[in-house]
Amino acid sequence: MNRSTSLNTTIAFIGGGNMASAIIGGLVRAGHPASTILVVEPSPEQALRLRSQFGVQADAAAGPALGAAGLIVWAVKPQVFEAAAAPCAPYASQALQLSIMAGIPCAAIEKASGSARVVRAMPNTPALIGQGMSGLYARPAVTLDERLQVEQMLAPTGQLLWVEQEAQLDAVTALSGSGPAYVFYLLEAMIQAGVELGLSAEQSRQLAQQTVAGAAALSAQSSETPEVLRQRVTSKGGTTHAAISTLEARGVKLAFVRALHAAAERAAELGAEFGKN
Ligand SMILES: NC(=O)C1=CN([C@@H]2O[C@H](COP(=O)(O)OP(=O)(O)OC[C@H]3O[C@@H](n4cnc5c(N)ncnc54)[C@H](O)[C@@H]3O)[C@@H](O)[C@H]2O)C=CC1
Ligand SMILES: O=C(O)[C@@H]1CCC=N1
Protein backbone atom coordinates (compact mmCIF):
# COMPACT_ATOMS: atom_id res chain seq x y z
CA MET A 1 0.00 0.00 0.00
CA ASN A 2 1.01 3.58 -0.56
CA ARG A 3 1.90 5.02 2.84
CA SER A 4 2.24 8.55 1.47
CA THR A 5 -1.48 8.79 0.71
CA SER A 6 -2.91 6.78 3.61
CA LEU A 7 -3.31 9.86 5.84
CA ASN A 8 -5.01 11.84 3.09
CA THR A 9 -7.95 12.73 5.28
CA THR A 10 -9.18 15.42 7.64
CA ILE A 11 -8.16 14.65 11.21
CA ALA A 12 -10.27 15.98 14.07
CA PHE A 13 -9.05 16.20 17.66
CA ILE A 14 -11.55 16.31 20.51
CA GLY A 15 -9.51 18.20 23.11
CA GLY A 16 -6.45 20.22 22.19
CA GLY A 17 -4.28 20.03 25.33
CA ASN A 18 -0.77 18.72 25.95
CA MET A 19 -0.95 15.34 24.27
CA ALA A 20 -3.07 16.48 21.33
CA SER A 21 -0.59 19.31 20.75
CA ALA A 22 2.31 16.84 20.73
CA ILE A 23 0.58 14.77 18.04
CA ILE A 24 -0.54 17.81 16.02
CA GLY A 25 3.00 19.22 16.15
CA GLY A 26 4.36 15.93 14.80
CA LEU A 27 1.77 15.82 12.02
CA VAL A 28 2.49 19.39 10.94
CA ARG A 29 6.26 18.83 11.06
CA ALA A 30 5.79 15.68 8.95
CA GLY A 31 4.04 17.76 6.27
CA HIS A 32 0.37 16.99 6.98
CA PRO A 33 -1.52 20.13 5.85
CA ALA A 34 -2.69 22.16 8.85
CA SER A 35 -5.81 23.09 6.86
CA THR A 36 -6.99 19.47 7.20
CA ILE A 37 -6.65 19.40 11.00
CA LEU A 38 -9.65 20.42 13.09
CA VAL A 39 -9.63 20.70 16.88
CA VAL A 40 -12.67 20.91 19.15
CA GLU A 41 -11.31 22.86 22.11
CA PRO A 42 -13.58 24.86 24.47
CA SER A 43 -10.78 26.79 26.19
CA PRO A 44 -10.35 30.09 24.26
CA GLU A 45 -6.69 30.34 25.31
CA GLN A 46 -5.91 26.82 24.13
CA ALA A 47 -7.80 27.36 20.87
CA LEU A 48 -5.88 30.57 20.19
CA ARG A 49 -2.58 28.81 20.91
CA LEU A 50 -3.44 25.95 18.53
CA ARG A 51 -4.38 28.37 15.75
CA SER A 52 -1.28 30.51 16.13
CA GLN A 53 1.21 27.69 16.81
CA PHE A 54 0.05 25.22 14.16
CA GLY A 55 -2.36 27.10 11.86
CA VAL A 56 -5.09 24.51 12.48
CA GLN A 57 -8.83 25.18 12.75
CA ALA A 58 -9.88 25.24 16.41
CA ASP A 59 -13.59 25.41 17.24
CA ALA A 60 -15.14 25.83 20.68
CA ALA A 61 -17.78 23.17 20.02
CA ALA A 62 -18.42 20.22 17.72
CA GLY A 63 -20.32 21.00 14.52
CA PRO A 64 -20.95 19.66 11.01
CA ALA A 65 -17.26 20.21 10.06
CA LEU A 66 -16.52 17.18 12.23
CA GLY A 67 -18.48 15.02 9.78
CA ALA A 68 -15.75 15.50 7.16
CA ALA A 69 -13.08 13.90 9.37
CA GLY A 70 -11.87 10.44 8.38
CA LEU A 71 -10.06 10.11 11.71
CA ILE A 72 -11.21 11.40 15.10
CA VAL A 73 -8.70 11.58 17.95
CA TRP A 74 -10.14 11.55 21.46
CA ALA A 75 -7.74 13.59 23.63
CA VAL A 76 -9.83 14.86 26.54
CA LYS A 77 -9.41 13.79 30.16
CA PRO A 78 -11.24 10.51 30.82
CA GLN A 79 -13.51 12.24 33.33
CA VAL A 80 -14.96 14.58 30.67
CA PHE A 81 -15.19 12.00 27.86
CA GLU A 82 -18.96 11.46 28.05
CA ALA A 83 -19.74 15.19 28.15
CA ALA A 84 -17.32 15.82 25.28
CA ALA A 85 -18.66 12.92 23.20
CA ALA A 86 -22.38 13.79 23.29
CA PRO A 87 -22.22 16.78 20.92
CA CYS A 88 -19.77 14.94 18.61
CA ALA A 89 -21.90 11.82 18.22
CA PRO A 90 -24.06 13.04 15.29
CA TYR A 91 -20.91 13.58 13.16
CA ALA A 92 -18.59 10.79 14.33
CA SER A 93 -19.91 7.42 13.16
CA GLN A 94 -18.19 7.31 9.74
CA ALA A 95 -14.69 7.98 11.08
CA LEU A 96 -11.90 5.79 12.38
CA GLN A 97 -11.66 6.53 16.12
CA LEU A 98 -8.32 6.90 17.89
CA SER A 99 -8.37 7.41 21.64
CA ILE A 100 -5.38 8.42 23.75
CA MET A 101 -7.47 8.57 26.94
CA ALA A 102 -6.27 6.49 29.88
CA GLY A 103 -8.63 3.72 30.88
CA ILE A 104 -11.65 4.42 28.61
CA PRO A 105 -12.40 1.08 26.89
CA CYS A 106 -12.98 0.65 23.15
CA ALA A 107 -16.56 -0.42 23.86
CA ALA A 108 -17.34 2.95 25.44
CA ILE A 109 -15.79 4.80 22.49
CA GLU A 110 -17.77 2.64 20.06
CA LYS A 111 -20.96 3.35 22.00
CA ALA A 112 -20.35 7.10 22.12
CA SER A 113 -19.20 7.48 18.50
CA GLY A 114 -21.30 4.85 16.71
CA SER A 115 -18.15 3.49 15.03
CA ALA A 116 -16.72 0.01 15.72
CA ARG A 117 -13.42 1.06 14.11
CA VAL A 118 -11.61 1.99 17.32
CA VAL A 119 -7.88 2.14 18.09
CA ARG A 120 -6.56 3.01 21.54
CA ALA A 121 -3.12 4.52 21.98
CA MET A 122 -1.30 5.26 25.20
CA PRO A 123 1.42 7.82 24.49
CA ASN A 124 3.66 9.66 26.94
CA THR A 125 4.91 13.23 27.26
CA PRO A 126 8.34 12.78 25.59
CA ALA A 127 6.13 12.69 22.46
CA LEU A 128 6.47 16.48 22.70
CA ILE A 129 10.07 16.15 21.47
CA GLY A 130 9.61 13.09 19.25
CA GLN A 131 11.03 10.78 21.97
CA GLY A 132 7.74 9.27 23.08
CA MET A 133 6.67 5.66 23.57
CA SER A 134 3.12 4.69 22.64
CA GLY A 135 1.32 1.40 23.21
CA LEU A 136 -1.43 0.65 20.67
CA TYR A 137 -4.43 -1.67 20.55
CA ALA A 138 -6.87 -2.08 17.63
CA ARG A 139 -10.33 -3.58 17.67
CA PRO A 140 -10.93 -6.42 15.15
CA ALA A 141 -13.02 -4.10 12.92
CA VAL A 142 -9.92 -1.97 12.27
CA THR A 143 -8.26 -2.84 8.94
CA LEU A 144 -4.54 -3.19 8.32
CA ASP A 145 -4.61 0.01 6.29
CA GLU A 146 -6.23 1.84 9.20
CA ARG A 147 -3.55 0.51 11.57
CA LEU A 148 -0.96 1.90 9.18
CA GLN A 149 -2.76 5.26 9.14
CA VAL A 150 -2.50 5.38 12.92
CA GLU A 151 1.17 4.37 12.78
CA GLN A 152 1.87 7.06 10.21
CA MET A 153 0.12 9.64 12.34
CA LEU A 154 1.95 8.76 15.56
CA ALA A 155 5.38 7.96 14.09
CA PRO A 156 6.68 11.53 14.54
CA THR A 157 5.98 11.28 18.30
CA GLY A 158 8.44 8.41 18.87
CA GLN A 159 8.32 4.62 19.10
CA LEU A 160 5.15 2.51 18.74
CA LEU A 161 4.28 -0.92 20.14
CA TRP A 162 1.09 -2.87 19.37
CA VAL A 163 -0.40 -5.08 22.08
CA GLU A 164 -2.80 -7.94 21.37
CA GLN A 165 -5.19 -7.51 24.29
CA GLU A 166 -6.97 -4.36 25.33
CA ALA A 167 -6.36 -5.12 29.02
CA GLN A 168 -2.60 -4.88 28.37
CA LEU A 169 -3.06 -1.14 27.79
CA ASP A 170 -3.53 -0.74 31.55
CA ALA A 171 0.00 -2.12 31.99
CA VAL A 172 1.31 0.14 29.21
CA THR A 173 -0.34 3.11 30.93
CA ALA A 174 1.32 2.19 34.24
CA LEU A 175 4.74 1.62 32.68
CA SER A 176 5.30 4.09 29.84
CA GLY A 177 2.23 6.35 30.00
CA SER A 178 2.88 7.47 33.56
CA GLY A 179 6.55 6.44 33.35
CA PRO A 180 8.07 9.85 32.63
CA ALA A 181 6.75 11.00 36.01
CA TYR A 182 8.76 8.27 37.78
CA VAL A 183 11.93 9.42 36.01
CA PHE A 184 11.25 13.06 36.91
CA TYR A 185 10.68 11.94 40.50
CA LEU A 186 14.07 10.21 40.45
CA LEU A 187 15.63 13.37 39.00
CA GLU A 188 14.04 15.44 41.79
CA ALA A 189 15.61 13.14 44.39
CA MET A 190 19.03 13.14 42.72
CA ILE A 191 19.03 16.95 42.43
CA GLN A 192 17.92 17.34 46.07
CA ALA A 193 20.73 15.06 47.20
CA GLY A 194 23.28 16.88 45.03
CA VAL A 195 22.35 20.19 46.64
CA GLU A 196 22.46 18.66 50.14
CA LEU A 197 25.92 17.31 49.32
CA GLY A 198 27.25 20.75 48.39
CA LEU A 199 26.63 21.21 44.64
CA SER A 200 24.58 24.04 43.17
CA ALA A 201 21.08 23.33 41.85
CA GLU A 202 22.29 23.88 38.25
CA GLN A 203 25.30 21.59 38.71
CA SER A 204 23.08 18.91 40.28
CA ARG A 205 20.53 19.22 37.48
CA GLN A 206 23.15 18.82 34.73
CA LEU A 207 24.78 15.86 36.48
CA ALA A 208 21.44 14.14 37.15
CA GLN A 209 19.91 14.75 33.72
CA GLN A 210 22.89 13.54 31.73
CA THR A 211 23.29 10.54 34.02
CA VAL A 212 19.69 9.45 33.42
CA ALA A 213 19.92 10.17 29.66
CA GLY A 214 23.29 8.39 29.38
CA ALA A 215 22.17 5.36 31.38
CA ALA A 216 18.99 5.06 29.28
CA ALA A 217 21.02 5.31 26.05
CA LEU A 218 23.57 2.76 27.29
CA SER A 219 20.78 0.36 28.23
CA ALA A 220 19.10 0.83 24.83
CA GLN A 221 22.37 0.17 22.95
CA SER A 222 23.58 -2.70 25.13
CA SER A 223 22.57 -6.34 24.85
CA GLU A 224 23.00 -6.70 28.63
CA THR A 225 20.10 -6.54 31.08
CA PRO A 226 19.73 -3.50 33.34
CA GLU A 227 20.71 -5.76 36.22
CA VAL A 228 24.07 -6.61 34.61
CA LEU A 229 24.69 -2.97 33.71
CA ARG A 230 23.97 -2.01 37.33
CA GLN A 231 26.36 -4.68 38.62
CA ARG A 232 29.10 -3.23 36.38
CA VAL A 233 28.77 0.11 38.18
CA THR A 234 28.84 -1.57 41.58
CA SER A 235 32.33 -2.20 42.94
CA LYS A 236 32.58 -4.54 45.90
CA GLY A 237 32.60 -2.47 49.07
CA GLY A 238 32.38 0.73 47.03
CA THR A 239 30.09 3.75 46.82
CA THR A 240 27.37 2.28 44.58
CA HIS A 241 27.10 -0.71 46.86
CA ALA A 242 26.53 1.64 49.78
CA ALA A 243 23.78 3.43 47.82
CA ILE A 244 22.00 0.34 46.46
CA SER A 245 22.11 -1.36 49.88
CA THR A 246 20.34 1.67 51.33
CA LEU A 247 17.70 1.54 48.57
CA GLU A 248 17.18 -2.18 49.10
CA ALA A 249 16.98 -1.81 52.89
CA ARG A 250 14.26 0.82 52.40
CA GLY A 251 12.32 -1.36 49.92
CA VAL A 252 12.57 1.15 47.08
CA LYS A 253 12.40 -1.39 44.24
CA LEU A 254 9.35 -3.03 45.77
CA ALA A 255 7.77 0.40 46.25
CA PHE A 256 8.31 1.14 42.54
CA VAL A 257 6.75 -2.17 41.55
CA ARG A 258 3.78 -1.46 43.81
CA ALA A 259 3.46 2.03 42.36
CA LEU A 260 3.06 0.62 38.84
CA HIS A 261 0.44 -1.84 40.10
CA ALA A 262 -1.44 1.11 41.63
CA ALA A 263 -1.31 2.98 38.30
CA ALA A 264 -2.58 -0.07 36.39
CA GLU A 265 -5.36 -0.56 38.94
CA ARG A 266 -6.38 3.07 38.53
CA ALA A 267 -6.47 2.65 34.74
CA ALA A 268 -8.69 -0.40 35.17
CA GLU A 269 -10.94 1.53 37.57
CA LEU A 270 -11.32 4.36 35.05
CA GLY A 271 -12.31 1.72 32.49
CA ALA A 272 -14.78 0.07 34.84
CA GLU A 273 -16.46 3.42 35.42
CA PHE A 274 -17.23 3.44 31.69
CA GLY A 275 -18.45 -0.15 31.52
CA LYS A 276 -15.68 -2.39 30.27
CA ASN A 277 -16.97 -5.08 27.91
N1 LIG B 1 -0.37 13.83 30.09
C2 LIG B 1 0.10 12.62 29.88
O3 LIG B 1 1.21 12.27 30.28
C4 LIG B 1 -0.72 11.62 29.15
C5 LIG B 1 -2.07 11.79 28.97
N6 LIG B 1 -2.80 10.85 28.32
C7 LIG B 1 -4.23 11.00 28.13
O8 LIG B 1 -4.40 12.07 27.22
C9 LIG B 1 -5.62 12.71 27.51
C10 LIG B 1 -5.38 14.20 27.50
O11 LIG B 1 -4.39 14.50 28.48
P12 LIG B 1 -3.61 15.89 28.43
O13 LIG B 1 -3.36 16.30 27.04
O14 LIG B 1 -2.49 15.72 29.37
O15 LIG B 1 -4.74 16.83 29.08
P16 LIG B 1 -4.96 18.38 28.89
O17 LIG B 1 -5.75 18.85 30.07
O18 LIG B 1 -3.69 19.08 28.55
O19 LIG B 1 -5.90 18.45 27.60
C20 LIG B 1 -7.29 18.17 27.61
C21 LIG B 1 -7.99 19.25 26.78
O22 LIG B 1 -9.35 18.91 26.66
C23 LIG B 1 -10.08 20.13 26.65
N24 LIG B 1 -11.49 19.86 26.94
C25 LIG B 1 -12.11 19.88 28.15
N26 LIG B 1 -13.43 19.62 27.99
C27 LIG B 1 -13.63 19.41 26.66
C28 LIG B 1 -14.78 19.09 25.88
N29 LIG B 1 -15.99 18.93 26.43
N30 LIG B 1 -14.62 18.96 24.53
C31 LIG B 1 -13.42 19.11 23.96
N32 LIG B 1 -12.28 19.43 24.67
C33 LIG B 1 -12.39 19.55 25.99
C34 LIG B 1 -9.38 20.97 27.68
O35 LIG B 1 -9.69 22.36 27.52
C36 LIG B 1 -7.92 20.64 27.42
O37 LIG B 1 -7.32 21.56 26.52
C38 LIG B 1 -6.13 12.17 28.83
O39 LIG B 1 -7.24 11.34 28.59
C40 LIG B 1 -4.98 11.37 29.38
O41 LIG B 1 -5.44 10.21 30.03
C42 LIG B 1 -2.21 9.76 27.75
C43 LIG B 1 -0.88 9.55 27.89
C44 LIG B 1 -0.03 10.44 28.62
O1 LIG C 1 -1.99 10.32 34.88
C2 LIG C 1 -2.77 10.01 33.97
O3 LIG C 1 -3.90 9.60 34.23
C4 LIG C 1 -2.33 10.14 32.53
C5 LIG C 1 -2.32 8.82 31.82
C6 LIG C 1 -0.88 8.46 31.64
C7 LIG C 1 -0.16 9.66 32.03
N8 LIG C 1 -0.96 10.56 32.47
Measured from the CA of 22, which atom of ligand 1 is nearest?
13
Would you list the domain boundaries of the chain?
Answer: 3-165, 179-268
Percent of the chain with pLDDT over 70: 97
Q: What CATH class has 3-165?
A: alpha beta
ipTM of the complex: 0.98
Distance, in Å, from the CA atom of 185 to the CA atom of 199, rounded to the nearest integer, reads 19
Ligand 2 within 6 A of 173 CB? yes
Task: Say which CATH superfamily domain 179-268 falls into.
Answer: ProC C-terminal domain-like (1.10.3730.10)
Distance, in Å, from the CA atom of 97 to the CA atom of 84, rounded to the nearest integer, reads 14
**C-alpha to C-alpha distances, 191 to 214, 240, 276, nearest whole angstrom:** 16, 17, 42
Predicted pLDDT at 89: 95
Q: What is the Cα 267 distance to its own chain's centre? A: 13
Q: Tens digits of per-residue pLDDT, 94-140?
A: 999 999 999 899 999 999 999 999 999 999 999 999 999 999 999 99
What one-character-per-residue DSSP string does 10-45 give?
EEEEE--SHHHHHHHHHHHHTT--GGGEEEE---HH
pLDDT category of residue 3 using cuts at 50, 70 and 90: very low
Question: Ligand 1, from 74, 76, 175, 178: best to mutate by most atoms within 8 Å of Cβ?
Answer: 76
Q: Enumerate residues 6+ apart whose C-beta is below 8 A from 266.
A: 103
Q: Tens digits of per-residue pLDDT, 166-193?
A: 999 999 999 999 999 999 999 999 999 9
Measured from the CA of 180, which atom of ligand 2 is nearest?
7
Asked, colleague to colleague, whether 3-165 and 179-268 share their fold, the answer is no
Q: Is the pLDDT assigned to residue 6 strictly greater than 90?
A: no
